[in-house]
Structure 1
């Protein structure tokens, strides 16, 4: 069981020695996963316990709330994703402007040395910490020599950036999902980052996002009542509440999965957008479960459930049709294409 502490006062006084890493870990992408794997290996070989230190809220939301990027995942999903990589403990630090005023030395001494009794600190080359991000790798190594911990530097994890990276979710003509091997052999390699994931999602390119994340991108939220237009057209949808967590990809139609609160994964055609055919305004994420069990509709009532929606591939952009009949014809095509795409990738997470 992974221990989760919300503040240094929750850390047992006899916990340690530890191997520690620090980061925002938004998305827990493949670069983060490499850091966590190095952390575990370092802890195992040094006879210490592995601890990942992260922040809530994200520092950008505190320093520049008006321009901070949308987070890839919420804090609960982030902690679950970190925990899934087998660390012994996670320390969540409440980030405030007052907290940010600590010098680099004050931060390291208070968290790594006094609270966690760190014997090793695992970081990337670009680590920054302390007031105004004044601390860097050289600072960490100098503090390590002074306070008695070893600094382990993780090499950057890169992924091939395809020449088609800006494809903005072009549809799959053959209905088969692409894999990492489909990227051009001579494509430029790019450092895996949360920024790159957001760029891909904002372009609707959920396949590239999945390659960086090492899994499909998902959102979590409660299913709420909508305008019931989908049901009237023969395509009932599960509408996510507007306070759902997870980065919303570009408007369009996607093939993906809906995971209900029992853990059952249902194939789905997912709509993201403002329903332009009906002059909608607010963006909505709604999932139509393909081939749902109509023989017992009362057993498939998702209202009030907290579900996950996973995005496998973008089928097309959002289009305003001349009327409901044209929209229904297109929705039939979308469902058929989503069914083919999902049949090619299986139902694994």
Structure 2
């Protein structure tokens, strides 16, 4: 996937475009992208997404912004896997937020992206004061030579699929429901780094991933599957949180893989959270922590044998 930072230099060829934050790339996003790729293929233009960094809610109200479901890299990887060929990432800053809807159309869509077809969600609003809507885009399309279509919401078991719905499922520890809305298990990617080697002292060596999600969308102990180390995902147990028993303060994902003994420092892996075992908690001493880790590993093994 080609990635363009900002819109000051136009992309090299006309595009079919989808606009959104695409946090988590859930089933609603997947439907939008599938339509985008189909239209681009039939019209001979490049399937492209326009997204923003940071999320507009992080810019306007950083203290109350929701937890991100996916990091910037994870989002781009998921979009590329869905067939998107290029992405334009616009820095969401004071100047960008001040663009009127008409200025956004002229500067970003027409000059920056040479848009020929635009696919948006049914709740899409844009421009200063969120005054831009589907009708305004249609009128602009007639003037500038692009077409516009709005996609309806995707509904699963009576629930509209949304990033906020995925966040609620994760916060509730309902991994199965989150997976139903995402179309796959919730996952986090990262590079395996060196930790304090406490896992080895406790009898459970771990692969440690520094997590860039801040705040975390969830914490706790989970049965997980890890991709990126072989032909098929490997089962294990993981703790996601700050590790209060050992005085941790930064989010860390610690993964213990069952029946696995390879040096994987530096490997980039994907951790899929398939079942929550319990909340993260503080233990009075290392012996209590070690006993609980053993119980967690046994519970995760039992889950995978069901």
TM, length-normalised to structure 2: 0.88
**Secondary structure of 1:66 counterpart:** helix
Distance 1:245 1:273, change over 3 A: closer
Q: Report the counterpart of residue 287 of structure 1 in structure 2.
A: 255
1:337 matches 2:299:
yes
Task: Give how far 1:279 is off.
Answer: 6.5
Q: Report the counterpart of residue 6 of structure 2 in structure 1.
A: 7
Task: Give how far 1:324 is off.
Answer: 4.4
How far apart, in 2, do the equivalents of 1:305 and 1:279 lie?
27
Aligned length: 306
| 220-229 vs 308-317, greater mean Cα deviation | 220-229
Instruction: Say what the alpha-carbon RMSD is for the aligned residues.
Output: 2.6
Task: Give how far 1:272 is off.
Answer: 2.5
- Out of 55, 64, 69, the residue aligned to residue 67 of structure 1 is 64
How far apart, in 2, do the equivalents of 1:74 and 1:236 lie?
26
Q: Report the counterpart of residue 180 of structure 1 in structure 2.
A: none
Q: Report the counterpart of residue 171 of structure 2 in structure 1.
A: 202
Q: How does 1:167-178 map to 2 (within 5 A)?
A: none
CA contact (8 A) 1:259 1:309 kept: yes
1:313 matches 2:282:
no
**Secondary structure of 2:64 counterpart:** coil
How far apart, in 1, do the equivalents of 2:252 and 2:86 lie?
36
1:230 matches 2:199:
yes
**Secondary structure of 1:98 counterpart:** helix
CA contact (8 A) 1:62 1:95 kept: yes
Task: Give how far 1:10 is off.
Answer: 4.6
Q: Report the counterpart of residue 155 of structure 2 in structure 1.
A: 158
How far apart, in 2, do the equivalents of 1:303 and 1:143 lie?
52
- Structure 2 residue runs of 5 or longer lacking an equivalent are none
CA contact (8 A) 2:20 2:50 kept: yes
Q: Report the counterpart of residue 216 of structure 2 in structure 1.
A: 248
Distance 1:45 1:279, change over 3 A: closer
Q: Report the counterpart of residue 115 of structure 1 in structure 2.
A: 112
CA contact (8 A) 1:269 1:335 kept: yes
How far apart, in 1, do the equivalents of 2:167 and 2:227 lie?
23
Distance 1:41 1:222, change over 3 A: closer
Distance 1:274 1:148, change over 3 A: closer
How far apart, in 1, do the equivalents of 2:214 and 2:176 lie?
16
1:41 matches 2:9:
no
Spell out structure 1 runs of 4+ moving beyond 6 A: 261-264
Task: Give how far 1:117 is off.
Answer: 2.5
How far apart, in 2, do the equivalents of 1:324 and 1:41 lie?
56
- Structure 1 residue runs of 5 or longer lacking an equivalent are 161-188, 294-299, 345-349
